[in-house]
């Protein structure tokens, strides 16, 4: 029997496998070849619908002149994409350009996946609100991305039902609580809104509005302030409302939630500028009955909001044509024609301030045709976005939030304890990853 | 499925001993099975009914009441990004069909060799394979990506096909099956008649192993059809995506765009059909089982 031959085959196969693993373990070796002459082709990972059509404008216009061709590879959004980018980066195969949510930027930068494109895109700074631009610099002199879309938070409510129950639009969070109680008295089977623990971005935005700074640096160490006074205030406020039963405690984005919005069982929603799109599918029967107002404030006379969602365009360190890629990123997010197409094809709300009132944003979203000044109001609110402070393990804090607050909301138990859990989990993970953490 | 095939392959000594039971005593097992079937089929029924609902009906009408939007959903799905859904369907068919076929071939050769031939290190090799059965393929996806990246094969059809060709479970099953279905006497007789090893394998042993290999093929087909993580890590070009990945991109479109629920549900519903058809067509090969075998005891 040819067993010797077989054995040799097996052993060499094992050797090849081990050898290859060893090579892979050596890490990535990315060539840093800068801007070559001649035609350049770039790949771009993005989840924005219709991005291929926007990129066509570049490939046929400015890109053709500069001989820079961009190819879109459509991806699914979310934390998993960050993992995918980092895995590809480990093999030195990340695409030239990636779409990344603001809170993912520190994770990508701390893994050395994003290039500093300040030299090429630095001039675009004036096109964006300061709080937005600051998220792409991470407080350094470098620029790691160009802002694309933002999600300033707003208060949405059923205009007709507010009138029916004699409610006024709350200007402060105290009034918000009063409104919730008043509705409960008038219609015990209805809720003003729900506290949902299945999207951490909402809570992060509310904390941001209150002035929380979850991740800061002191020296070369990270400082985690998830259970700081501002966030505690937000957690206590919502925990109190849930405990007394003034608001519902069921998660959003479920069929039951859609139904509650569609049938008027829940008559308001703390959301962001992209809410019209969500409401169109969640509550198609109540079109034209909703209205938008600024988020309630913590103190009377203030005007500040948080952000929920939003993303940027970044250039990876694996790119061999970083300058060309940065040129495209700047065009995509500052050029009027590009932004108009992005709004039309992708339904995004642009970060660029000049685009917020032009083109697609001169008329209200179809669902809000009853509020003609929707986007004018939105642009005003966007200006008041509080600064945010993201760190390298937002995903861990977010997961911890979902677990701890999910349980606390369900059991109507102490939200402060849940917040402490979130703080502890986040600090423990930072330490495990080898970051220095200041007390 | 596997246990069914394996039991049939065993000599039918056990069944003869048991006297035929009277009807009526099997109430408890019947009810248990019916409950089990209900448990498994309820989500399927949900998908079937939900796929008939239009966007506005989906969350507002009674869950198990059919809607009116089925044809519209299907045509919306067909026109989404110039019919990329059918491209995904084709990709899935290619990955699963070719992958399962190649996997069945590899399993046949290795299973047969492990069962019939005696060579040094056979048990060690087999134990390594058994360890492979215990290893969830999910764990291997990232190392496989890094390996294929070295060979510049990522984001290609090969990158999804190659890692799925060797299925430890398939080899294991083929070995067990070959040991039971291919009698050593038959192989010996072939050698006496002067046939080469390859000829004995292809002409004598392989036909005997067909029912087992059909099982391997089906298992692997379903596994590849449903696989998510491997193609997710390997592929970045959505024209090469299988259906699992494609539907995921429809769901996760970023916060500013609502998830395309109706398209995803209709897409998931249509994606079940090839699997059902495959099972209906192929299950007839399983019945060959009882007729096959050259040595009767």
pLDDT at A277: 86
B71-296: CATH architecture: Orthogonal Bundle (1.10)
The string of pLDDT tens digits covering residues A157-166 is: 999 999 999 9
- Dihedral sign from CA coordinates of A317, A320, A321, A325: negative
| CB nearest to B258's CB, from A1, A91, A280 | A280
pLDDT at B143: 92
The string of pLDDT tens digits covering residues A17-30 is: 333 333 333 333 33
Q: Is B156 on the interface with A (CB under 8 A)?
A: no
Are the folds of A3-151+308-382 and A153-306+389-433 the same? yes
Write down the domain spans for chain A: 3-151+308-382, 153-306+389-433
The string of pLDDT tens digits covering residues A44-84 is: 999 998 899 999 999 999 999 999 999 999 999 888 899 99
The neighbour count for residue B184, using CB atoms within 10 Å, is 11
Give yes or no for residue B6 having a pLDDT over 50. no
Residues of A in contact with B59 (CB under 8 A): 255, 258-259, 262, 282
| CB nearest to B237's CB, from A73, A272, A282 | A73
How many Cβ contacts (< 8 angstroms) between chains A and B?
Answer: 123
| CB nearest to B255's CB, from A24, A73, A151 | A151
pLDDT at A25: 38
Q: Is B64 on the interface with A (CB under 8 A)?
A: no
Which is more confidently placed, A3 or A218? A218
Structure pTM?
0.83
Q: Which residue on chain B is closest to A6 by alpha carbon?
A: B119
Best residue in A87, A89, A350 for a mutation probing chain B (most B CBs within 10 Å): A87
Give yes or no for residue B17 having a pLDDT over 90. no
> What CATH number matches the domain at A3-151+308-382, 3.40.190.10, 3.30.930.10, 3.40.50.1370, 3.30.460.20?
3.40.190.10
- The lowest-confidence range among A121-135, B48-62, B252-266 is B252-266
> How far apart, in whole angstroms, are the C-alpha atoms of residue B106 and residue B174?
10
Interface contact A259-B249, CB threshold 8 A: no
Interface contact A76-B255, CB threshold 8 A: no
Give yes or no for residue A431 having a pLDDT over 80. yes
Q: Is B256 on the interface with A (CB under 8 A)?
A: yes
> What CATH number matches the domain at A153-306+389-433, 3.40.190.10, 2.130.10.10, 3.20.20.150, 3.20.20.140?
3.40.190.10
Using the 8-state DSSP alphabet, how is residue B156 labeled?
S
Give the mean model confidence (pLDDT) for residues A188-214.
94
**How sure is the predictor about B158, in pLDDT bands with cuts at 50, 70 and 90?**
very high
Provide the token pair at B71: 């044809």
pLDDT at A26: 38
Interface contact B254-A77, CB threshold 8 A: yes
| ipTM of the prediction | 0.79
B107-to-A3, A120, A407, B127 alpha-carbon distances in Å: 18, 55, 47, 15
> How far apart, in whole angstroms, are the C-alpha atoms of residue B60 and residue B69?
14
The string of pLDDT tens digits covering residues A335-369 is: 999 999 998 888 889 999 989 988 888 889 989 99
pLDDT at B91: 96
> How far apart, in whole angstroms, are the C-alpha atoms of residue A342 and residue A355?
11
> How far apart, in whole angstroms, are the C-alpha atoms of residue A293 and residue A156?
6
**How sure is the predictor about A13, in pLDDT bands with cuts at 50, 70 and 90?**
very low
Domain with CATH 1.10.3720.10 in chain B: 71-296
């Amino acid at each position: 029997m040819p067993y010797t031959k077989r054995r040799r085959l097996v052993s060499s196969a094992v050797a090849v496998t081990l050898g290859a693993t060893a090579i892979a373990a050596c890490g990535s070796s990315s060539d840093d070849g800068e801007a070559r002459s001649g035609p350049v082709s770039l790949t771009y990972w993005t989840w924005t619908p219709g991005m291929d059509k926007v990129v066509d404008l570049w490939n046929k216009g400015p890109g053709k002149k500069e001989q820079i061709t961009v190819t879109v590879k459509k991806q699914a959004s979310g934390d998993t994409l960050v993992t995918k980018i980092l895995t590809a980066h480990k093999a030195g195969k990340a695409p030239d350009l990636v779409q990344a949510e603001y809170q993912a930027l520190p994770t990508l930068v701390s893994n050395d996946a994003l290039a500093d494109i300040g030299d090429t895109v630095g001039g675009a700074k004036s096109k964006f609100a300061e709080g937005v631009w600051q998220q792409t610099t991470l407080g350094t002199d470098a620029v790691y991305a160009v802002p694309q879309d933002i999600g300033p938070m707003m208060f949405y409510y059923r205009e007709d039902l507010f009138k029916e129950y004699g409610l006024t639009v709350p200007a402060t969070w105290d009034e918000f609580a009063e409104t919730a109680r008043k509705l409960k008295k008038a219609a015990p089977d209805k809720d003003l809104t729900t506290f949902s623990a299945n999207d951490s971005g909402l809570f992060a935005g509310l904390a941001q509005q209150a002035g929380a700074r979850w991740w800061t640096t002191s020296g070369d160490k990270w400082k985690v302030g998830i259970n700081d006074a501002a966030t505690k205030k937000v957690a206590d406020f919502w925990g109190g409302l849930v405990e007394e039963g003034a608001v519902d405690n069921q998660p959003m984005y479920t069929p039951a939630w859609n139904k509650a919005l569609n049938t008027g069982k829940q008559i308001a929603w703390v959301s962001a500028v992209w809410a019209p799109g969500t409401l169109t599918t969640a509550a198609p029967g109540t079109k034209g009955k909703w209205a938008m107002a600024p988020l309630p404030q913590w103190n009377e006379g203030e005007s500040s909001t948080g952000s929920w969602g939003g993303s940027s365009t970044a250039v990876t360190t694996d790119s061999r044509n970083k300058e060309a890629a940065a040129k495209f990123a700047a065009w995509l997010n500052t050029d009027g024609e590009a932004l108009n197409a992005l709004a039309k094809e992708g339904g995004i709300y642009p970060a660029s301030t000049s685009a917020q009132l032009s083109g697609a944003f001169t008329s209200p979203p179809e669902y809000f045709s009853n509020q003609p000044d929707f986007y004018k109001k939105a642009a005003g609110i966007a200006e008041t976005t509080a600064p945010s402070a993201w760190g390298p393990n937002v995903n861990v804090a977010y997961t911890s939030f979902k677990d701890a607050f999910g349980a606390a909301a369900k059991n109507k138990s102490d939200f402060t304890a849940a917040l402490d859990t979130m703080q502890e989990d986040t600090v423990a993970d930072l330490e495990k990853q080898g970051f220095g953490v200041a007390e | 499925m596997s246990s069914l095939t394996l039991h049939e392959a065993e000599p039918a000594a056990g069944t003869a001993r048991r006297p035929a039971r009277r009807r009526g005593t099997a109430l408890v097992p019947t009810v248990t099975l019916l409950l089990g079937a209900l448990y498994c089929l309820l989500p399927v029924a949900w998908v079937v009914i939900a796929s008939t609902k239009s966007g506005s009906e989906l969350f507002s009408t009674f869950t198990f009441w059919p809607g009116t939007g089925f044809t519209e959903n299907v045509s919306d799905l067909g026109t989404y990004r110039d019919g990329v859904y059918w491209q995904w369907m084709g990709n899935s068919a290619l990955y699963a069909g070719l992958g399962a076929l190649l996997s069945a071939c590899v399993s046949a050769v290795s299973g047969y060799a492990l069962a019939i031939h005696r060579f040094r290190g056979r048990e060690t090799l087999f134990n390594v394979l058994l360890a492979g059965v215990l290893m969830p393929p999910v764990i291997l996806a990232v190392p496989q990506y890094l390996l294929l990246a070295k060979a510049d094969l990522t984001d290609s059809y090969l990158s999804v096909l190659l890692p799925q060709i060797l299925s430890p479970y398939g080899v294991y099953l083929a070995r067990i099956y070959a040991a039971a279905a291919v009698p050593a006497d038959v192989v010996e007789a072939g050698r006496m008649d002067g046939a080469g090893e390859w000829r004995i394998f292809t002409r004598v042993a392989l036909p005997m192993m067909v029912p087992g290999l059909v099982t391997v093929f089906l298992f692997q087909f379903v596994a590849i059809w449903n696989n998510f993580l491997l193609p997710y890590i390997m592929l970045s070009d959505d024209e090469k995506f299988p259906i699992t990945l494609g539907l995921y991109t429809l769901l996760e479109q970023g916060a500013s765009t609502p998830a395309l629920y109706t398209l995803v549900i209709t897409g998931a519903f249509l994606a079940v059909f090839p699997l059902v058809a495959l099972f209906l067509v192929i299950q007839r090969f399983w019945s060959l089982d009882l007729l096959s075998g050259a040595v009767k005891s």
